Amino acid sequence: MNDLITTAEAARIAGVGVSSIKRWADQALVQAIRTPGGHRRVIKSDLLRFLQNGGTPLRDDRGTRTTDFGTVVKRETAEIRANEIAPVAGTVWADEILAGDVYGIQASLLDARSRLGSWFPTSDEVSLGLREIGNRWVRGEVTVLDEHIASERLSRALAMIMHTMPSSTSAPVCVLACIAKESHTLALSLLQVCLLEAGWHPLWVGANTP
C-alpha cells in the first residue's frame, strides 16, 4: 500500500497540476487504479519511472514552467497491463474487506459495479482481494478468525445487495451448491449476484452438498 498515492501527492512529486496527473493516467502514461470507492490512486514507483525516463511536460496545467526532464515517453501500449495492476487491486480490496464494516463494503461493491459496468468484472476484482487475504493468512499476517469475520462481512454486504435485485420464478433456474465436505459458500454468493443480473433464478443449495 505504500506504493499507492493520491493524485494530489503525485502532482506535488511531479511539480504539475492534479489534472495533468489524471490525464497521464487516462493516457496510460502512468499506472493508476480505482479504489473500491472509486478514488484514483497512482502507483508511485511507476510515476517515478515515468519522470526519470523523461515524462514531465515543459508546462503544467497552470501555464507554469516546470523542470525539463526531456520528451514524453511513449508506452508500447495504451492499456495498463493486468498482471501489474491485479496485485494492487487485490491489496486494496483485501484492506477494504478486512477493515470495513458491512455497509462500507456494500457501498464499495456498488461503486465498483458502477465503475466496471456489471457484476461479472466486479466479482473478478473482489476475488483478487479474497486471494490476497488468503495469502496474508499463509504469511501469518491475519488469523483464521480475521479471515472468517471478513468473509462474513462480505457475504452480508452481498446479501443486502441481492435483496434489492428482482428475480422471476419464470426465469431459467440454476443450482448453486458446494461439493461434499466444502463449507465455504462465499464464491457462490459472488456467482449468485452475477446470475441475478444476467436474468437467472438461482436455487441456493449451499454447502456440503452430497
CB atoms within 10 A of CB 31: 22
Confidence of residue 163 (pLDDT cuts 50, 70, 90): very high
Contact present, 29 and 21 (Cβ < 8 Å): no
Confidence of residue 28 (pLDDT cuts 50, 70, 90): confident
Within 8 A by CB and 6+ apart from 82, the residues are none
pLDDT at 69 over 50: no
Q: State pLDDT tens for residues 29-59.
A: 888 888 766 778 888 888 888 887 766 443 3
Rounded CA separation 97/95 (Å): 6
pLDDT-above-90 percentage for the chain = 31
Confidence of residue 20 (pLDDT cuts 50, 70, 90): confident
Question: Mean per-residue pLDDT for 126-145?
Answer: 91
Rounded CA separation 88/78 (Å): 19
This prediction's pTM = 0.62
Within 8 A by CB and 6+ apart from 42, the residues are 4, 5, 6, 7, 9, 10, 21, 25, 30, 31, 32
SS3 101: coil
